[in-house]
């Protein structure tokens, strides 16, 4: 059987092999410390679960409007209002996770052969969304000295006649760093002057204790913003997210949503209405605080062991750690750490080719006791490998 060529372009995730091997250890009864998982370890907050249950009992099992129920779009608009940002509900499109939002934007904005600027390291799936539309992802290598974020100069120098737009994340995966406010505005102005588009992935919004800004929409109004109930709201498995699009894009994105998805999950939408209730928001904020404590604990522990963390993250739940002091390439470091000490981390290779052999991503989506155990095991590893 013949498959489309784009399938051959997709690189398998290294981390899936880590996840598989970790599961094998656990099946044998061996404890594994998980630093590889990019989703909150907490179950969804109780008020959301109850609202989801009630939605099912009330028979909320049919299609909704393609762009999401009005009440949820209004609630999301209210969420921005709380941040001092006015977004009319009709500019908000409820999607099947940020992944559904990316599919819609790829369909809306990219023609075959168009170039899309992304970052390396960056969220690995971005390039696949571009390829799905026949477009060409073009990576900007982002460096620690520049917070692992693109600069205006880098965008200018990578922009060609074929470039249509940029897709950047703030905070970013795997580095947790934010695009500085001034850079964001400069890039937005440049892209607008080129008649291009700017997609800003804000899926880690809310998990940003020291954020200089709460949403890029406070700095530039004509962004395409990707967001999700997955991370701050702890609803990964419900598959629900949203887009904020410029006024002129509402009609096009609505047509695509109708045709590609019909509607996002109905029970998930009714459940998500409760995500903004004071009771649920308290749970989310407490959890964000826990992530902050874990970040401090893990970063401190890793630095004490001699690992370099060139940039302290401003959000998300990741540390991007330079392991080159061990003398091992990152992929081997990850492999040996799992095989010999049952500590699972994600190799930099999953996020691009720029300095991938020096870096690994630690996700602190695990409790403080597990982080302490992980640090002990790392210390033992360094002793055994003669790197301390």
Ligand X SMILES: Cc1ncc(COP(=O)(O)O)c(C=O)c1O
Contact footprint for ligand X (CB under 6 A): 38, 97-99, 123, 169, 173, 201, 203, 228, 230, 236, 241
At closest approach, how far in Å is the CB of 105 from ligand X?
11
The residue at minimum Cβ distance from ligand X is 97
At closest approach, how far in Å is the CB of 174 from ligand X?
8
Q: Which is nearer to ligand X, 104 or 381 (CB)?
A: 104
Q: Which is nearer to ligand X, 264 or 328 (CB)?
A: 264
At closest approach, how far in Å is the CB of 316 from ligand X?
8
Q: Which is nearer to ligand X, 97 or 196 (CB)?
A: 97
**What's the token pair of residue 100?**
């559904």
CB 197 within 8 A of CB 107: no
Q: Which is nearer to ligand X, 236 or 387 (CB)?
A: 236
At closest approach, how far in Å is the CB of 339 from ligand X?
26
At closest approach, how far in Å is the CB of 208 from ligand X?
13
Q: Which is nearer to ligand X, 228 or 342 (CB)?
A: 228
Distance from the first to the final alpha carbon of the chain: 53
């Amino acid at each position: 059987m013949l498959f489309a060529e784009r399938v051959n372009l997709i690189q398998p995730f290294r981390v899936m092999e880590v996840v598989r091997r970790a599961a094998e250890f656990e099946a044998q009864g061996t404890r594994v410390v998980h630093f590889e998982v990019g989703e909150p370890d907490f179950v969804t907050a109780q008020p959301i679960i109850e609202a989801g249950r009630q939605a099912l009992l009330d028979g909320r099992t049919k299609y909704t409007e393609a762009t999401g129920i009005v009440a949820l779009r209004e609630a999301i608009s209210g969420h921005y209002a709380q941040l001092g940002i006015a977004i009319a509900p009709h500019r908000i499109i409820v999607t099947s996770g940020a992944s559904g939002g990316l599919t819609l934007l790829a369909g809306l904005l990219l023609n075959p052969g168009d170039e899309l600027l992304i970052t390396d390291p960056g969220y690995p799936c971005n390039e696949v969304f571009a390829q799905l539309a026949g477009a060409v992802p073009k990576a900007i290598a982002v460096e620690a000295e520049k917070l692992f974020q693109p600069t205006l100069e880098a965008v200018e120098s990578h922009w060609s006649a074929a470039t249509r737009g940029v897709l950047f994340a703030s905070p970013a995966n795997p580095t947790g760093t934010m695009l500085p406010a001034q850079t964001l505005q400069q890039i937005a102005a440049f892209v607008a002057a080129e008649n291009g588009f700017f997609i800003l992935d804000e899926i880690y919004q809310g998990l940003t204790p020291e954020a200089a800004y709460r949403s890029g929409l406070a700095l530039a109004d004509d962004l395409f913003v990707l967001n999700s109930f997955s991370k701050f709201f702890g609803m990964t498995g419900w598959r629900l997210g949203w887009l904020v699009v410029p006024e002129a894009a509402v009609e096009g994105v609505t047509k695509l949503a109708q045709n590609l998805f019909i509607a996002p999950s109905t029970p998930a939408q009714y459940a998500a209405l409760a995500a903004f209730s004071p009771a649920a928001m308290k749970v989310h904020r407490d959890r964000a605080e826990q992530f902050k404590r874990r970040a401090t604990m893990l970063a401190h522990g890793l630095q004490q062991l001699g690992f370099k963390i060139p940039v302290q993250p401003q959000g998300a739940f990741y540390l991007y750690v330079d392991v080159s002091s061990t003398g091992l390439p990152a992929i081997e470091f990850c492999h040996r750490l799992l095989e010999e000490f049952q500590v699972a981390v994600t190799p930099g290779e999953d996020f691009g080719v720029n300095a991938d052999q020096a870096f690994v991503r630690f996700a602190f989506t695990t409790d403080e006791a597990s982080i302490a155990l992980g640090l002990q095991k790392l210390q033992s590893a360094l002793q055994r490998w003669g790197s301390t």
